[in-house]
Amino acid sequence: MTHSGEYIRVRDLDVSYDGITPAVSALSMDVAEGEFAAVLGPSGCGKSTLLHAISGVVQPQSGTIEIAGLPVGAGRGDDSVPIGYVFQEHRLLPWRTVAQNIAIVLRAAGVADDDVDPRIDHYLEMLHISKFRNTWPLRLSGGQRQRVSIARALAIQPAVVLMDEPFSTLDEVTARVMRQQLADLWQRSNQTIVFVTHSIREALFLAGRIFILTQGPARLFDTIEVSVPRPRRYEDPRLTELEAQIVEHVMDEWGYGANSGEEPRE
């Protein structure tokens, strides 16, 4: 897939939480409409901060972010595009049932009362969790909670879905099933997704394009097109080969090269 257009447009972004220590520095990137883009970087490099800035929760020190031509910023107005967010942890309200958790964000997004229940049913069905409609989140497994979190993000029918390492806290088998379901879901919906991860294999399996960041403060190090056709297999040898190339490519930049002073790990 060739990526053109600037549906999400980030220019010269500088973000700092305390105003002194930069978390993101002079970062520019474009994501096309309907693209599945991954943002790859070492732990703690500022990937999540980038997503926070794109979502408008964090105000950048300088630079601009636009989604569908509209500027993004803290205290977004009603005219800005709706954004779905899947966090690293599910962030569901434990005192509300699965359906109530989704209903709350639907009502906040201004969905008409008559449409709330049908939409909840539709997205729970899509993620194969209909039977948990009236269940409390604490009674669900980690994978089920994360499915609810994804259903919540998709139910508001957002222009963009931001995903912040959503499978990193799950066991490997559950994570693989979830990745496969997400890939299938994206192929059916063609939703614009920005997926943050520190797993090269995960990025290669899911994304059409990978934005590789530097160690913190995050800057854009390189962009890689993943041309392996879909549907992909997680064990595909072409992904293995690409993974090895990327490891080789980022080794110095992420602080594990010959001149970095880091001891290789056993």
Partner 1 sequence: MTRSPETTQNLGARLRASWLDLALGALGAGLPVFLWWIGSHTTTFVPPIGEVIRAIPDFVTGEDIWPDVLVTIERVAGSLAIALILGFAAAYVMHRGGLWGRVVDRYVGLMLGVPSTIAALLALYVFKRSEVGVYFVVSIITFPFVALTLLQGLRSADRRLDEMGDVYRLSTPQRLRHVAVPHLVPYTFAAVRNEYAHAWKVVVLAELFAVNSGMGARFARAFDRFRIVDAMLWLIIFMIILLGTEYLLLLPSERRVLRWRGSGMEGNR
Q: Nearest approach, Cβ of 218 to partner 1 (angstroms)?
A: 19
Question: Is 111 a residue that touches partner 1 (CB under 8 A)?
Answer: no
Of 15, 83, 204, 212, the one binding partner 1 by CB under 8 A? 83
- Beta carbons of 213 and 41 less than 8 angstroms apart: yes
DSSP three-state, residue 215: coil
Q: Show the binding pattern over residues 27-66: x = contacts partner 1 (CB under 8 A), - = does not.
A: -------------------------x--xxx---------
Q: Which residues pair with 37 in a beta bridge?
A: 194, 209
Question: Is 105 a residue that touches partner 1 (CB under 8 A)?
Answer: yes
Q: Nearest approach, Cβ of 249 to partner 1 (angstroms)?
A: 33
* DSSP codes joined into one string, 46-107: SHHHHHHHHHTSS--SEEEEEETTEE--SS--TTSPPEEEE-SS----TTS-HHHHHHHHHH
Question: Is 135 a residue that touches partner 1 (CB under 8 A)?
Answer: yes
98-108 and 113-126 helices cross at what angle (nearest 10)? 130
Strand stretches in the chain, DSSP E: 8-16, 22-31, 36-40, 62-67, 70-71, 83-86, 160-164, 192-197, 209-213, 220-225
Q: How many residues bind partner 1 (CB under 8 A)?
A: 29
Q: Nearest approach, Cβ of 12 to partner 1 (angstroms)?
A: 24
Sign, Cα dihedral of 249, 31, 196, 154 = negative
Of 17, 71, 91, 247, the one binding partner 1 by CB under 8 A? 91
Question: Is 141 a residue that touches partner 1 (CB under 8 A)?
Answer: yes
Q: Show the binding pattern over residues 147-186: x = contacts partner 1 (CB under 8 A), - = does not.
A: ---------x------------------------------
Contact residues for partner 1, defined by CB under 8 A: 52, 55-57, 76, 83, 85, 87, 89, 91, 93-96, 104-105, 107-109, 131-132, 135-141, 156
